Structures are given as C-alpha cells and as structure tokens.
Chains A and B, each alone.
Chain A
C-alpha cells in the first residue's frame, strides 16, 4: 500500500493516460453506434448486424447493448474525470507560477535568450544598442505583444490572464462531467396525459411512463393543468403542431402558465414541461339499473393510423350484476374532422364467450343498456388531451453555464495563447548579434516567423530612415 498514492498520482498525471482514454472512449462509442441501445429497435444498417446472432451475443456479453452505461465505459469516463482533475490542478499551479513571474526576467531567463534563441539577426556596426532594442520593441508591438523596454533586454508579452484559459477549460470539463453524472442520478423524466380542462398533480401515479434517477429528490406535488389545446398552432408563419396552454400551480396559486410547443417549453425552477403529442380522452360512466352513476373513469386514447378508426380501441372490463361471469366492453372513437376535435363513438360489449351483447353507435352522453348486466354505459366528455413530457433536472441550468465557460476558455486557450518574446544583443563591434527568444507554443513556427518578419521590418525601417537622413545631411 505504501507508495500507492504517489503511483496513482503519477498515473493520473500521465499525459499518455489521458490520450489513450480519449482513444478508448472514441472506439467504444463507435462500437456502441453499431448496435441499438437500451432496447430500441435496430435503425438503418444496425438491422444487418442484428441478423448475425454470434455478433449480437458477443456485443451483449461485453455490454455493447447498453454501451453508454456499461461498466467499461463508466470506468473509462471515471478515470478520465480523475485525470482531468489532476491535469486541471497542475495547469492551475503552473499558470499561477507563470503569472507571478510575468514581467520579471531572471538572470537565467536572460541567459536563455541567447542560448535558446529562436532566431538571430546581425546588428549593424553603427547602430546604437538602445535604438536597436527600441526597434525590436516596436516589432514586438506590431505582432500584438506589449513591450517592456530595459537597458539590455526587451520583453514583449500578452496579458497574463491568458495563462488561465487552459486551466479554466479543464476545470469546466471537470464540472461538466460531474454535472452530467449528478444529473443522471437526480433527474426525473415522465410522460403525463392531461385532458383539456383538467389537471393532474406531479406525483408518481400521474405518469404513464417515467424514469427517475436513484437520488431523485421526489415529486413536487404541483398541479399541471391543460387549459386549452390548439391543433396546428401557427406562430411566425410556422405550424408549431399541437400546442396546449399549460398552467403549473401550487399552494400560492399560479406559478407559470404559457402555451407549450417544440422550442417553447414551460419552465418553473428545475421543472420543464414540453409538448410530446396529443390524443383523445373520454369519461366512461357506468350507471346501475336506477340510473345512478356508479363509476366514472377517465380513459386516454392515442391515435393509430393502422386502425380503421384512426385511434387505439379502449378496452373496459365489467362485472355482470347477476354474477354470471364478466363482460368486456370496447370503445372506439372515430374522429370526424382533420384536426380530430370531434368523434363518433362505437361501443361494443361482449360476454365471456365473446358473444356480442351490444354493438351501438351512441352519441356523447347517451346511456346504452347492457343486457343481462343491470348496468348502462355512457361515453361522456370526449375531448382532447395533451401528452406532456415533464423533466425535473436542476443540473440543466448549471450545465448551460459550464458549456459557455468551456467554449470561451477553450477558444482563448487555443486562439489566444500566452506569448512571450525577449530580445538581447550579444557580442561587440561588428560581431554583435540580436537574439530573439520566443516562449514555446503549439504553433511557434508561425508565430516565430511573424515576430521575425516584424522585427526585421522594424530594423530595416530604421536603417532606411538613417540612410535617408545621412543623404540629406550630406
């Protein structure tokens, strides 16, 4: 165990580790796209691979059917996360160190200007050292460096805040990875069907399907109401599709209310309500022989173009009052308009031997007696319902902020790197040489060329004006 910490630190600090983790994650992600994920049907050419059983078995065995939650993938991401933290920490320390020494040239650094110069230019025998260094300073300024003039050395540099760009970028990656992980653990996402004119509470029972992370903090209990629904809502000349007006309410009253459609979700705190689709809803009312309403139940009906009616038939189980077995009822709604806002009703009731007892086309609200059961059925209140997606994820807003920071930081790090150049003259008399040192960077060849051209132009300009001056003087 002794030495495990330092060894782990060295491993996480390794630049090769980060590189190979990126390679592994790229290859694993590529393999993951070859197979349908999370039980989805094969898409496109995935179908061809799905026909090879040996390949499918192998993929399932190594976790490629759930590639992005597989242990191998999560382990690689976890290791990359730790490696990025160490990298960000190291870069931060180096950036602070370099910032502290910004604008100060140590004797060793001054020696390096000559020993490790990027280029050298012979100095004219009649040129004063001070004027040469001034020309170099002007050359530095011409390439965007702020020049600091000294007696024997000139330094050009950019603002030291640029040192922070790379550390900030890496820290933003750390924050993003953490937020993605935390979001996955605390996020809730569900589909809720709310008929027009009604509301449902944000509780588990309200959702048709839902997925909650293991650390989800729990439902809010807020009321989600659909006030109206416009099929084919148009705004800005664009058909936005079905768009309900959704109202979120709590103990203090209305908290948020707006029309909801793609790219226009309703937000309240960490909750976001977006529009998925719409369908039909009706109340099935069961009354006894006296006509007293015994049961009223809400049913949601989805559209299905494969059905002759265009909607999914709704099955209802009934008990016979005489105790002679059960009855099954089927309600089919047949939309009569293009927008499906009104429908004809077909009601069929069969006994346990599949004998048809009722096959009627009642109007809305009309009671239909079921022979032998002592009950009557009615379909009431046919209206539209909105299938809403509700997401409860507090990490979305911080993720947006981290995205913005990441983009700005990486842009600064790559496009505006920290640059320093220093110049010094060596030798005496006709052996004098101007040496220019440039801090190493990923694209130093291009930058060194720009500095060399700028300094040479500046020196040549001085030489030309000196010659002009000499001609006029003579």
Chain B
C-alpha cells in the first residue's frame, strides 16, 4: 500500500510538471517544450500504471469501485488518449495544454479520498463488470475528445481566442478537419456507449433477473445515448455541420458527465456503489 501511494504521488508530480510544460509550450509556441511535456507526461503514466496494477493485484479487482479507483482510472485514460491523439495527429499535441491539467487535477483529487479497497460482492463478481466498465471509460474518452475538438472549433470560429491561445489554435488542422474529427470521436463514443448499455443490460439480467428497470443511472445512460443519437441524426440526415454541429457536441458532454458523476451523488441508486462505495 505504501509503495502504491508513493507511485501515485510520483504520477501526480509528473502530471503536474507535464501540465506546466504543456502550458508553457502552448503559450510560447515552443515545439521542444511540447515534446518534453509529452515525454514527462508519459513518464508519469509509468508509476501511475504500476500503482494501478499493484492495487489490482492487492484488492483482486480492477479500478472499478469507489471514487479513488474510478477517478484515478479516468485520469489514466485521459493521458493515454492524449498520447494516442498526439501520435496519430501530431498537430493536435498542443491539446495537452487542456487535457493534462484535467488529468493532474483528477488524480490529485483522488489522492485525497479514502483509499481502502472494496470487496467484490456476488452481484459484481462477473466478467461483465470488466466489459461494462471498460466500454464506459472508452466511450467517455471519445465524448471528451469530441468536446475538446468542438470547443477548439468554436473558439476559432468565433474569434474568441487572443494572444498565445490564438497562436496555439492556429496550429491546429483546418476547421473542416476539426469538425469531422469531432464527429468521428462522437460516433466512436456513441458506439461504445451503446455497447456499454447492452453489456449492462445483459449483466443486470444475469445478476437481478431483469435487463432494464428504469433505474436512474440506466435512464441517464439512455438519455446520453439518445442525445448523441440526436447529434448523429442532425449531422447525417439533416446535414448539420460546422458551428451547429460543434455546439451540439459541446453541449452534449455535460449530459454524459452528469450520468457518470451526478447521478450517483443525486440518487440513492444501486449503481452509486461504483463511485461512492457500499
């Protein structure tokens, strides 16, 4: 446990340093700083990954239960997604100036919450848990990426950026490309969210004998899926592009975030266990 804590704090420190370097690199337009920032951030991913693995072995389940584990895993996914984006579209690496601080803050916040492991109970003891949670995390990553690209589009489109931010945004691909990439990530998130809902329904049937009961988090997951179905419909059949599409993608994310974090806090739902504990 001590080793796990030390490794986590190492990850927090390196993420903090990476955030600062990304910010400086973006502000001053220094590619070398951005590259260093990515290296430092990936270096932070190493102790973070080892800490997650050690905890996984110790508590005998993945990072699914409780605020500490869940938020730590989201911070991990955010860094991995940033690395993948920067690898595939190097011009987008300056997005680290937005994503790394988010990752740092998430992991830092998790470090101040209780870290005791929660036991897997009979209902949770199923391979569907891993499938359901993994699909959830990947879908949220897709929606967050779509959101960030949509916001970048809108800031540039409306001319809201000044100074260093404007210079950073100038280096991003064209508006058309940002628009299409935002759609692609939203589409990916939609597929994964739909798959997550399906996995959850099958698991609920195996565990409780019913695949749907309009539980608040089930309903909010469906609402999230419908919102993005509306977004895809608007784009694919109504021809919404550009600013319209970007606004939709930007406003859709809060619905997903509420489903993830707000619902367990606002309702006494059986699903709240994954964030709040037993």
Residues of chain A whose beta carbon lies under 8 Å from any beta carbon of chain B: 15-16, 18-19, 22-23, 25-26, 29-30, 32-33, 37, 43-46, 67-68, 189, 236-241, 261-265, 272, 274, 389, 391, 396, 399-400, 403-404, 406-407, 410-411, 414-415, 442-446, 449
Contact = CB atoms under 8 A, between A and B. Distances in A.
A443 B125 contact: no
Contact of B209 (A15, A37, A189): A189
Interface stretch (B36-44, B47-55, B219-227): B219-227
Contacts, number: 139
A163 to B, nearest CB: 15
Given A30-B223, A263-B126, A389 B180 contact: no
Interface stretch (B16-24, B74-82, B181-189): B181-189
Contacts of A25: 226
Given A19-B230, A274-B209, A26 B223 contact: yes
> Sorted from nearest, which 8 A-B pairs have the closest CB atoms?
A445-B176, A44-B267, A263-B126, A443-B180, A446-B180, A15-B237, A262-B122, A414-B187
Given A22-B233, A404-B198, A415-B187, 11 more contacts: A22-B230, A26-B227, A30-B223, A33-B220, A44-B267, A236-B125, A239-B122, A262-B126, A396-B211, A403-B202, A446-B177
Nearest to B60: A237
Contact of B234 (A19, A43, A414, A446): A19
A263 B123 contact: yes
A354 to B, nearest CB: 39
B162 to A, nearest CB: 27
A389 B220 CA distance: 26
B32 interface: no
Residue from the set B120, B190, B216, B265 with the largest chain A CB neighbour count within 10 Å? B216
Contact of B125 (A263, A389, A399, A414): A263
A22 B226 CA distance: 6
A270 to B, nearest CB: 13
A238 B177 contact: no
B122 A241 contact: yes
Contacts of B116: none
Interface residues of B, number: 56
A446 B194 contact: no
A238 B219 contact: no
B194 A407 contact: yes
B105 to A, nearest CB: 26
A446 B209 contact: no
Interface of B: 60, 119-123, 125-126, 128, 174, 176-177, 179-181, 183-184, 187-188, 190-191, 194-195, 198, 201-203, 205-211, 214, 216, 219-220, 222-223, 226-227, 229-230, 232-238, 265-269
Nearest to B245: A442
A264 to B, nearest CB: 8
A449 B229 contact: no
A446 B233 CA distance: 19
B184 to A, nearest CB: 6
B135 to A, nearest CB: 10
Given A22-B226, A33-B220, A445-B176, A391 B209 contact: yes
A444 B122 contact: no
A434 B174 CA distance: 23
Contacts of B235: 442
A262 B234 CA distance: 41
A415 B184 CA distance: 8
Nearest to B208: A274
A391 B230 contact: no
Contacts of A236: 125
